Structures are given as C-alpha cells and as structure tokens.
C-alpha cells in the first residue's frame, strides 16, 4: 500500500494540468510534469526560481501587487475562478493560459504560499480571434 504523501505526490505529478506551488517569497517549490510540458522548463530548472520565470514582463507588476495583497489579507479576488492570462514558455513564446489560484495554509491557518493550476488555451483563443476577425471583415 502506498502511503498517503507518496500517493499525493503521484497524483499531483500525473494530473493533466500544470500545478505550480510557490512559497510566500514567490519561489517555485512544486512543479509537476504538466508544468514542464506547458512551460518548457524542467523541474530542475524551475524549482527554487522566482515565478517571474513564467510571467511576461508587462504583467509582473500587476501579478506581484495581487500576490502581496493576497498574502497580506489571506484572500484572493480570483480564488477558484478560471482566469485567462498570458505566460512565457522557455522558448520565449507567449502562451494564453487559463489558471486557477488558491492560497495554501498551514495547520494553524497561516498562509504559507499559493498554488496555481494552468492549462494551455492558446489554440482556442487564436481560433476565436480568427473567427471574430473573419466575421468583422
């Protein structure tokens, strides 16, 4: 029988969506296989790095403002709501991704970090944009 923490690790590593956990400083602590597929960075390359690794430069200020506010208040505006945003691939290519966010708390209720689940929706967004452009021409 697999122990519960081993099972949890296997589940998180095998889910289809990218799962990224960062501590309060914004350092990446958990990076599953789907994160490697989506963003192009191996776990060895991503672990310990700042979240800026995958955040386009023009979105960083807004991201950190929201991140700091969530840590300070213990609440997120976007908690559990899928949000369309941009992300960076290792190649430098910009992706459209749909993300959900949540704060992670310790046993005493203190916020210890945040977790995000992400999926690539670039094809869908580009298809929808092409359809709109075709409709308007």
Buried b (16+ CB within 10 A) or exposed e, 7-19: eeeeebeeeebbb
Query: How confident is the model over 77-92, as pLDDT tens digits?
Result: 766 789 999 999 999 9
32-43 average pLDDT score: 97
Confidence of residue 94 (pLDDT cuts 50, 70, 90): very high
pLDDT for 80 equals 72
> Chain-wide mean pLDDT for the chain?
91
H helix runs in 47-86, sequence order: 57-73
**Quick one: pLDDT band at residue 60, thresholds 50, 70, 90?**
very high
Alpha helices per DSSP H over the chain: 4-14, 33-39, 43-46, 57-73, 122-136
Domains delineated in the chain: 4-136 (3.30.450.20)
Mean pLDDT calculated for residue range 6-28: 90
pLDDT of residue 1: 57
């Amino acid at each position: 029988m697999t122990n519960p923490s081993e099972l949890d690790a296997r589940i998180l590593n095998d889910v289809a969506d990218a799962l990224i956990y960062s501590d309060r400083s914004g350092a990446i602590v958990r990076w599953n296989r789907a994160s490697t597929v989506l963003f192009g960075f191996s776990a060895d390359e991503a672990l310990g790095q700042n979240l800026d690794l995958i955040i386009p430069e023009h979105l960083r200020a807004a991201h950190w403002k929201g991140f700091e506010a969530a840590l300070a208040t213990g609440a997120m505006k976007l908690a559990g709501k899928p949000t369309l945003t941009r992300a960076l691939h290792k190649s430098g290519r910009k992706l459209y991704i749909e993300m959900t966010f949540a704060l992670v708390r310790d046993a005493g209720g203190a916020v210890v970090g945040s977790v995000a689940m992400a999926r690539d929706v670039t094809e869908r967004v580009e298809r929808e944009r092409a359809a709109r452009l075709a409709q308007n021409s």
